[in-house]
Amino acid sequence: MADPFLSIQHVRKSFGATTVVEDFNLDVERGEFVSFLGPSGCGKTTVLRMVAGFEEPSAGKIVVGGKDITRLKPNQRNVGMVFQAYALFPNLTVAQNIGFGLKVAGMPRADIDARVAEMLDIIKLPQMADRYPYQLSGGQQQRIALARAIAPKPKLLLLDEPLSALDAKVRVSLREEIRSIQKKLGITTIFVTHDQEEALSISDRIAVMYGGKAEQVGTPFEIYNRPATKFVANFVGTLNVLEGKVTDAAAGTVQVNSEQVSLKGKLNGSKSGDTLSLALRPEAISLGRQPGRDSSLSGEISEVHFLGSVIRVRVGIGGNTVSLDTFNSPATPPPAVGEKAEISFSSDDMLVLH
Amino acid sequence: MKTGRFWAWVVFGLGAAYFFIPLIATVEFSMRMRRGVYSFDAYQIVLGDPRFQATFGYSVLAALFTIILGVLIVVPAAYWIRLRLPQLRPIVEFITLLPLVIPAIVIVFGYIRMYGSNSPLPFLASDRGTDLLLVIGYATLALPYMYRAVDTGLRTIDVRTLTEAAQILGAGWGTIVTRVILPNVLIAVLSGAFLTFAIVIGEFTMASLLNRPAFGPYLQNIGANRAYEPAALAIIAFAITWGCMSLIQILSRFAPKSANRPN
């Protein structure tokens, strides 16, 4: 395998006695779009800021394109960055903002003008060149910030929660636009977010972070369907966690409530009598027995939420509550609270959390 | 509601009378130099006096140097404190307030003792040296106003993020301060500059004790020896101060608007 374009190696960051990032490792390929996903305080922004050069690692190194940039100043790294708060220069027009990095680099005026026009076309705001930031909406400002970041053709693009300050509709359209521009330019990108939907929808890979460490690095499909830890399983998507007891480790059977579920090959060294945390995604569960689903559990419907196209049903099973989604059908009335219900699922979809 | 508005106008009228009656009286008195008719004789005499021109010119020049010195000290200091040393802000604010507490006469005697012709730094041994010391003293006197004006300006922008945005685009400290920070706090700097100007133009104690030909000692001298000219000078000084304040208002219209509050 070729050397990674960006390599974050054993990076640690402490502020006084508090360690914010612990032994963080990540390799990113050229042109890849990698998201750092995690709750507030997990260290994702600190890692990004170390890549940008705003924080110096307490240990470890950061290599970009084969060059160690760990101790370089931010203005020596040729890295572009988009900030959550836009950070456009209020005294400069849109064109001057986009051309700022080019002017600093000493590019001739004509080349700057051409590049600015090209950037404005890419972000589909060609008519905005002479406006000031205060004359733009939040979404427009963030697109200008993106254009400003990529105008000097940086080696690496860093996006620090760029969509957090925008309303829901703009967020969705802008994230698609960011991804499309990133693919078009082939620029290696790190995207920091705490929004799992954002991360899942636009990333080539996701690093789920918790407590200053990468809990799991993988494609959105792997992260969602094969979470490596309990934290990842809980943080990404909605998850039903059931307690189960291993009844026969050799046969791979686990007792959930009073029913047996076969989890052959998933018990990973568990012994008979061990208690396990088992997880099921709501979309992996059906109400009633369905063909192709080898396991079932009985309970009572405790809540029904009508969400339009989907009905979310909560079923009490022993001491656990399981959420599942069913599509709304005008011909079928939603189930009623208090009804006895059976849920079915494929044991292949059940995750054992470690 | 109507009663409330009536009393508001009464209070406004009283306030306006409090400020304007002495002013009108001074204007009226300054124009009574020629017996029986109003004239601008006192203004003509004052403006035609070579000492007025020399002292006013000296003080304007001293004010300009004071402003330059103040901006060079205060803008980088206030910027750095906001960016990297926010924990020092209360201490720096206290220090900048000291010139309001310590009388100018104490400061100037300190200067005379510290920088006399026999000291290792003999500022007072030459006229230029004394001028320099006077400018430094004026910058100290204006520090509370200049620092507060600049700090308030810095508070209206996201100093850290703008700095980082400029840094990541390749800018060094010089570029960041001159092309990103200063233009965005320019109005605040100008406010501080005009306040500095107003202070320097009328300052008496330092200029008098350092024996410099400034406008303040000239004002005092005229006031002690003439009748109508001091009133004319007071009005001229007042007009200069108001002119400065009006300039602040006009320039503030050109202030860069915050991008964080679109429309």
How do residues A33-61 score in pLDDT, each as one tens digit? Answer: 999 999 988 999 999 999 999 999 999 99
Query: How close, in Å, is residue B174 to chain A by CA atoms?
Result: 11
Asked if residue B124 lies in contact with residue B133, where contact means CB atoms within 8 angstroms, the answer is yes
Tokens of B144: 């509370």
Question: A97: domain CATH number?
Answer: 3.40.50.300
Query: Which residue among A215, A235, A255 closes a domain?
Result: A235
Q: Is the pLDDT of residue B260 over 60?
A: no
Q: Tokens 């209360």, residue? A: B90
Question: A316: domain CATH number?
Answer: 2.40.50.140
Residue A270, pLDDT score: 80
Q: Is the pLDDT of residue B17 over 90?
A: yes
Residue A2, pLDDT score: 67
Count Cα neighbours of A293 within 13 Å in the Cβ-side half-sphere: 18
Provide the phi-psi class of A278: left if phi over 0, else alpha when psi is between -120 and 50, else beta.
beta
Identify whether residues A266 and A227 lie together within a single domain.
no
Q: Which of A89, A128, A166 to mutate to test the interface with B (most CBs of B within 10 A)?
A: A89
**pLDDT exceeding 90 applies to what percent of chain A?**
49
What does B76-125 look like in DSSP terms, one character per residue?
HHHHHHHHT-GGGHHHHHHHHHHHHHS-HHHHHHHHHHHSSTTSSS-GGG
Angstrom distance (rounded) from CA A192 to CA A177: 16
Helix segments in A67-106, DSSP class H: 94-104
The amino acid sitting at B225 is: N
Q: Specify which residues A209 forms β-bridges with.
A: A214
Query: How close, in Å, is residue A91 to chain B by CA atoms?
Result: 5
Residue A309 lies in a domain: yes
Identify whether residues A160 and A200 lie together within a single domain.
yes
β-pairing, A205-210 with A33-37?
Answer: parallel
Query: Which residue among A210, A235, A260 closes a domain?
Result: A235
Hey, is the C-beta of B150 within 8 angstroms of any chain A C-beta? no
The amino acid sitting at B68 is: I
Identify whether residues A204 and A289 lie together within a single domain.
no
* DSSP one-letter code for A332: B
Residue B164, pLDDT score: 95
Mean per-residue pLDDT for A207-236?
89
Identify which of B165, B168, B259 has the shortest CB distance to residue A134: B259
Mean per-residue pLDDT for B45-69?
92
Asked if residue B192 lies in contact with residue B139, where contact means CB atoms within 8 angstroms, the answer is no
When divided into structural domains, chain A yields a total of 2
Angstrom distance (rounded) from CA A270 to CA A274: 6
Angstrom distance (rounded) from CA A89 to CA B186: 14
Residue B256, pLDDT score: 60
Residue A1 lies in a domain: no
Q: Is the pLDDT of residue B244 over 80?
A: no
Identify which of B161, B169, B259 has the shortest CB distance to residue A152: B169
Q: pLDDT grade, residue B259 (50/70/90)?
A: very low
Hey, is the C-beta of B69 within 8 angstroms of any chain A C-beta? no
CA A131 to chain centre: 33
Residue A1, pLDDT score: 52
Q: Positive or negative CA dihedral for B59, B64, B70, B72?
A: negative
Hey, is the C-beta of B13 within 8 angstroms of any chain A C-beta? no
Asked if residue B151 lies in contact with residue B189, where contact means CB atoms within 8 angstroms, the answer is no
Q: Which of A83, A91, A115, A157 to mutate to test the interface with B (most CBs of B within 10 A)?
A: A91
Identify whether residues A94 and A190 lie together within a single domain.
yes
Angstrom distance (rounded) from CA B225 to CA B237: 18
**A244-281 pLDDT per residue, tens:** 888 888 888 888 877 888 887 777 778 888 888 888 88
Are B168 and A85 within 8 A, CB to CB? no
Are A132 and B258 within 8 A, CB to CB? no
Tokens of A60: 């470890």
Identify whether residues A192 and A271 lie together within a single domain.
no
Tokens of B71: 């901006």
Taking the alpha carbons at both ends of chain A, their separation in whole angstroms is 31
Tokens of B90: 């209360």
Query: Which residue among A171, A205, A235 closes a domain?
Result: A235
Hey, is the C-beta of B167 within 8 angstroms of any chain A C-beta? yes
Tokens of A70: 């760990």
Asked if residue A266 lies in contact with residue A257, where contact means CB atoms within 8 angstroms, the answer is no
Q: Positive or negative CA dihedral for A247, A252, A254, A258?
A: negative
Query: At how many degrees (to 10) do helices B89-101 and B50-83 cross?
Result: 160
Residue A139 lies in a domain: yes
**B82-124 pLDDT per residue, tens:** 999 999 999 999 999 999 899 889 988 898 888 887 888 888 8
Q: Tokens 């990698």, residue? A: A34
Mean per-residue pLDDT for B205-220?
90
Identify whether residues A38 and A179 lie together within a single domain.
yes
Residue A354, pLDDT score: 66
Residues of A in contact with B161 (CB under 8 A): 83, 85, 87
Q: Which of B84, B156, B163, B168 to mutate to test the interface with A (most CBs of A within 10 A)?
A: B168
**B131-159 pLDDT per residue, tens:** 999 999 999 999 999 999 999 999 988 99
Q: Nearest residue on chain B to A158, judged by CA atoms? A: B168
Are B259 and A91 within 8 A, CB to CB? no
Mean per-residue pLDDT for A307-327?
87
Residues of A in contact with B172 (CB under 8 A): 75
Window 239-258 of B, Cβ < 8 Å to A: 256-258
CA B262 to chain centre: 33
Domain that holds residue A264: 240-353
Asked if residue A241 lies in contact with residue A278, where contact means CB atoms within 8 angstroms, the answer is yes
**A277-312 pLDDT per residue, tens:** 888 888 888 888 888 788 888 889 999 998 888 888
Q: Nearest residue on chain B to A49, judged by CA atoms? A: B164
Query: How close, in Å, is residue A81 to chain B by CA atoms?
Result: 7
Q: Please, which residues have CB within 8 angstroms of residue A76's CB and are 6 or more apart in sequence?
A: A53, A69
Residue A281 phi, psi (nearest 5):
-75, 145
Angstrom distance (rounded) from CA B124 to CA B260: 51
Are B183 and A91 within 8 A, CB to CB? yes
Residues of A in contact with B258 (CB under 8 A): 90, 134
Q: Nearest residue on chain A to B164, judged by CA atoms? A: A54
**A60-119 pLDDT per residue, tens:** 999 998 899 999 999 999 999 999 888 999 989 999 999 999 999 999 999 999 999 999
Q: pLDDT grade, residue B262 (50/70/90)?
A: very low
**B19-39 pLDDT per residue, tens:** 999 999 999 999 998 888 899
Asked if residue A100 lies in contact with residue A89, where contact means CB atoms within 8 angstroms, the answer is yes
Angstrom distance (rounded) from CA A84 to CA A226: 30
Q: A160: burial class by Cβ within 10 Å (0-12, 13-18, 19+)?
A: buried
Identify whether residues A224 and A249 lie together within a single domain.
no
Are B260 and A74 within 8 A, CB to CB? no
Q: pLDDT grade, residue B257 (50/70/90)?
A: low
Q: Is the pLDDT of residue B263 over 80?
A: no
User: What's the CATH fold of domain B18-252?
Assistant: MetI-like fold (1.10.3720)
Asked if residue A244 lies in contact with residue A275, where contact means CB atoms within 8 angstroms, the answer is yes
Angstrom distance (rounded) from CA B113 to CA A5: 65
Identify whether residues A261 and A150 lie together within a single domain.
no
Are A136 and B259 within 8 A, CB to CB? yes
The amino acid sitting at A300 is: E
Mean per-residue pLDDT for A129-156?
92
Angstrom distance (rounded) from CA A28 to CA A7: 6
Provide the phi-psi class of A353: left if phi over 0, else alpha when psi is between -120 and 50, else beta.
beta
Q: Is the pLDDT of residue B45 over 60?
A: yes
Mean pLDDT of chain A: 89
Identify whether residues A260 and A223 lie together within a single domain.
no
Residues of B in contact with A89 (CB under 8 A): 162, 165-166, 180, 184
Angstrom distance (rounded) from CA A55 to CA B18: 58
Identify whether residues A331 and A316 lie together within a single domain.
yes
Domain boundaries, chain B: 18-252
